[in-house]
Every structure is written in C-alpha cells, then in structure tokens.
Amino acid sequence: MELRIACIPGDGIGPEIIAEARKVLDKTADIYGHKIHYTDVLLGGASIDVHGVPLTEEAIHTIRQSAAVLMGSIGGDAAVSPWYRLAPQLRPEAGLLALRKALDLFANLRPAILYEELADACPLKENIIGGGFDIMIIRELTGGLYFGERKTETENGVRKALDTLVYDEKEIRRVAVKAFDIAMKRRRKVTSVDKANVLDSSRLWRAVTEEVAKDYPEVVLEHMLVDNCAMQLVRNPAQFDVILTENMFGDILSDEASMVTGSIGMLASASLNDSRFGLYEPSHGSAPDIAGQDIANPIATVLSAAMMLRYSFDLDREADSIEDAVKTVLKDGFRTGDIISADKTQVGCSRMGDLLAERIACKI
Ligand code: NAD
C-alpha cells in the first residue's frame, strides 16, 4: 500500500520525536511491504521563522493532498520566545487552531492507557488499578460551549457574561458514529457522557446517541452523567472502553484520564474528520525546556503514528505491531528520563526510537 503522509515536525522537541516516529513507521512499512511518501510541512514557530505566519495556504494545500498528518508539537516558551511578542493571530498556536478548522477535525481521540510496567507512575492505589486500564476518550471538538455565541456586557452597572452551548443533531450524530466505529475495533462498549438531568443539549445528545446505537447491535451503550464520570475515572477506570462526550466535558475528562496514567510522554492523540483523514500528535506540548538534548520521550508520537495506521489507513496489524513494540521495550526495562525508575536502563530519544524499531515484528 502507498501511504501519503504530511509530516509536521514543529517546534521544540517536535523534530526529535518525529524523527523517531518515522524510524518506527519506516521499519513497519518495510516489514509489511508498504511504501510511505512523507511531505514535510512547516507549522507554528517554524513557519513564522520562514514565512512570518504560523500557517500558509501552501501548507494547507500540501496537507490536503495527503491521507493523514503526523505532527510533533508546536509552540515555544512564551516568556522568552519572540513568537509571543506577535499579535495573537500570528502566534504558533493560532496556526494549529486554523489548521484544525480548515480540515474540519471534529472528533478528538485521546487514549488513556496504564501500562503494567509504569503502574508506579499512576497516582491511584494498587487495588483500584488492578490489571491496568485502556480507555479511549472521544471528544466533540468543533461545537458546543466553546463555539456558541458569547458576549460580556454591563446592564444597570452590573457586568454580565453569556456563553451558549449549542449542538444540532448532525454534529452529535457524526461524532457518535466515529465512537461506535472505534468501539467496534475495541471492546465494544460506549459510555456516552452528558448532563441530561439539567441540559437540553445533553437530552438531544442522549437521544441521537441512542438512534446511532441501533446501527451497532454488537456495541453496548450506556449513559453516564458527567459528574459521576469524573468520579468513576478515579474509582474504577477499568470499567470504561470508549467514552463519548461533548466538547467541554471532554476537555476536562480527557485531562483527568491522562493524569491518572501519570506519564505525559506516553499519551497519543488523533483528530479526525468525516473522511478517513486525521491529524495525529502527542498530547504533550513542544517541551522547549528539554529541546535539542536528545532526552525527550518519543513514545507518545510513536503511538500517535500507530493510531494513524489504524484509523486513517485501516492497518490494524501494523498498528498492533507498534503498540506491542512499546510494551516489549518497557518490559525489557528501557526508559527515557521522564519515566525512569530504580533498576531500569535510561536511554535518550534517539536510542528509544532504535529500540522500538528493532522490536517491530510481523503479526501475520
Ligand atoms: P509541555 O507538554 O510541552 O511540557 C510540560 C512538561 O512536560 C515539561 O517539563 C516538559 O519537559 C515535559 N514533557 C513534555 N513532553 C515530554 C516528552 N515527550 N518527554 C519528556 N518530557 C516531556 O507543556 P508546556 O511547557 O505547558 O508547553 C510548551 C509549549 O508547547 C507551549 O508553547 C504550548 O503552547 C505548546 N503546546 C503545544 C501543543 C500542541 O502542539 N498540540 C499542546 C500543548 C502545548
């Protein structure tokens, strides 16, 4: 298979972690007989330095010619970087927001996985984490409270602010379909999270989710109120497979779930649109404090590349091989500095990439 991938190294540790993800992808492609065509694209600070803007029309055009985007991360240290003396719409993050909008990336996927070997990093007690957990949070990304009408005004000398939470059934249906499709590739359970005891938008969310569920008889659908879900994530995270929720609830719950895993350098993410197209990037930022030192953990980016193979190219076996390589490397005792513990072998970013690539094995 020919894979056309736009690659955005970005800023800070971005180029280092992308180089390692490509090493692992190339080895996977070699083993399974695929050909990858990468096109490098500038975004964020790297684009400002060359073009004066964080995202160009040419960059969007190049990305549209590709089937998926693999990204490092963008941005710098706001206290010292000249990028943050520019107008807000010219700063690095504005480029990423504009790109997500241009590509209509409405479904954000954030896996929260606790690896047995990293259980020490989990802030929960051993009797709660038991055999670990593997949750996929699917957050609606382009609607809801963050995109509704908002204003601040003063009425009779009293300041008043208004935000509006709006969803139409099409917006709910398309993200629900994504969640059920993804559940079919996993353990076939969707927990739809809302606040249906209070909000009309949540009652519509619940009704549409139930309509979508009729097309997926193999998937179990349950509904959970958002306040209960926040509790259940720390009480019994293993009960969840796919969590489906709206924009603001997902913003909060995905951060909670990722902190429960305890390892920021391990967390992948994907943002998808209506086609198979997706933008894949680690959940962490560009870590300017450790850039250029070959000490960043590339695993979140490597796991994002595995998600890309699974969701944009339907290459499940290849994605499994990469995820297995991550587990094997951890079992073999290798760690980057951010996840090091006693009796383990500390390695740098590039060595970690080599170790992962060495462990890619054919799953036929
Ligand atoms: P950050 O995630 O970059 O770093 C937080 C801490 O975690 C730092 O101490 C960093 O060294 C460490 N860390 C992060 N990733 C690591 C890795 N792979 N291996 C080892 N350690 C790692 O968050 P921040 O410092 O708040 O943000 C830095 C920049 O990143 C800012 O400009 C911010 O806007 C940007 N950012 C970009 C994205 C994105 O591109 N999607 C997301 C979040 C933040």
Over the stretch 92-138, which tens digit does the pLDDT of each residue have? Answer: 999 998 999 899 999 999 999 998 889 888 889 988 888 889 999 99
Atom of ligand 1 nearest to the CA of 289: 11
CB contact at 8 A, 233 and 256: yes
- Of all protein residues, the one whose alpha carbon is nearest to atom 24 of ligand 1 is 285
Cβ neighbours of residue 210 closer than 8 Å, sequence gap 6 or more: 221
Q: Ligand 1 center to residue 289 CA distance, Å? A: 9
Cα 65 to Cα 26, 37, 58, 72: the distances in Å are: 20, 11, 11, 19
- H or E element that contains 36: strand 35-40
Residue type for 216, please?
Y
Q: Please, which pLDDT band fits residue 219 given cuts at 50, 70 and 90? A: very high
Of all atoms in ligand 1, which is nearest to the CA of residue 296?
Answer: 19
Topology of the domain comprising 1-106+271-364 = Isopropylmalate Dehydrogenase (3.40.718)
Please pick, among 32, 38, 84, 146, the residue that the annotation labels catalytic: 146
What spacing in Å lies between the alpha carbon of 296 and ligand 1's midpoint?
Answer: 10
For 65-83, what is each residue's pLDDT tens digit? 999 999 999 999 999 999 9
Q: State the pTM of this model.
A: 0.93
Distance in angstroms (rounded) separating the CA atoms of residues 320 and 326: 10
**Averaged pLDDT for residues 234-251:** 96
Given this model, what pLDDT does residue 130 score?
Answer: 82
Ligand 1 residue neighbourhood (C-beta within 6 Å):
73-76, 93, 96, 264-265, 281, 284-290, 296-297, 300, 338
Decide whether 1-106+271-364 matches 123-260 in CATH topology. Answer: yes
Residue 236 burial (CB count, 10 A)? 14
| Token pair of 162 as six digits | 């208004």
- What pLDDT is attached to residue 262? 79
The number of beta carbons lying within 10 Å of the beta carbon of residue 48 is 25
Question: Which residue ranges make up each domain of the chain?
Answer: 1-106+271-364, 123-260
The highest-confidence range among 142-151, 252-261, 324-333, by mean pLDDT, is: 324-333
- Model pLDDT, residue 101: 87
Rounded to the nearest angstrom, the distance between the alpha carbon of 144 and the centre of ligand 1 is 26
Residue type, 330: L
Q: What pairs with residue 137 in β-bridges?
A: 110, 243
- 240: amino acid identity, one letter: F
| CA-based torsion, 231, 203, 143, 178: positive or negative | positive
Identify the active-site residue in 49, 168, 215, 227. Answer: 227
- Look at phi and psi of residue 154 and say left if phi exceeds 0, alpha if psi is from -120 to 50, else beta: beta
Give the DSSP letter string of 65-78.
TSSEEEEEE----T
pLDDT tens figures, 252-307: 999 899 889 878 899 999 999 999 899 999 999 999 999 999 999 999 999 999 99
Under the phi-then-psi rule, with left for phi > 0, alpha for psi from -120 to 50, and beta for the rest, what region is 70?
Answer: beta
| Assigned architecture for domain 123-260 | 3-Layer(aba) Sandwich (3.40)
Q: How far apart are CA 313 and CA 15, in angstroms?
A: 23
Please state, in angstroms and rounded to a whole number, the distance separating the CA atoms of residues 114 and 152. Answer: 42
Which tokens hold the place of 285? 């930022």
